[in-house]
Amino acid sequence: MEKLLNEFSIGLFFWQTLLFGLLVFLLWKFAWKPILNAVNDREDGIKDALAAAENAKKEMQNVTADSEKLLKEARAERESLLKEAREIKDRLIAESKDQAKVEGDKMIKQAQATIESEKKAAVADIKNQVAELSVEIAEKVIKKQLSNKDKQLKLVDDMLGDIKLN
């Protein structure tokens, strides 16, 4: 540092200051504005990029919220459809059970009616057979009783006695 102070020259200092001022003026006149414009453009570009990123972030949040809302709606709709399907299934099962019960009752009534009619037919048939057998037995008994003339007269007298009593 001492060497600089010892060799200091005012003329050299003047020219260096003048050249430095001229260099600053030339830079201000020709280079400063393009440099500042480039810096400002860069700053504006960064601000725009940050704003675009913020907008994209907000839009992403909106899309996420919308997709969550759609997902909730889809889940609710799925639950609604499943509930409706369960209700339809239960209703169909109940209707099938009711229909089966009605059909079963109908078949039981038809079977009971068939049994009753067959029972009546069997009873009528038995009555007819009993009547026929009774007539045959009575016929055979009467033939035996009426084969003798004394027995015939006695039977007629007994019948006349029963008529008078009545």
Instruction: Report the alpha-carbon distance of residue 41 to residue 85 in Å, rounded.
Output: 63
Half-sphere exposure of 92 (CA within 13 A, CB side): 6
Look at residue 164 and tell me whether its pLDDT is greater than 60.
no
Per-residue confidence band for 73, with pLDDT thresholds at 50, 70 and 90: very high
Instruction: Report the alpha-carbon distance of residue 26 to residue 20 in Å, rounded.
Output: 10
Per-residue confidence band for 48, with pLDDT thresholds at 50, 70 and 90: very high
pTM listed for this prediction: 0.40
Burial class (CB in 10 A: 0-12, 13-18, 19+), 155: middle
Q: Is 101 helix (H, G, I), strand (E, B) or coil?
A: helix
Mean pLDDT of 67-94: 94
- If you search the block for the tokens 């393009």, which residue do you land on? 34
The first and second tokens of residue 100, run together, are: 């089966």
Look at residue 111 and tell me whether its pLDDT is greater than 50.
yes
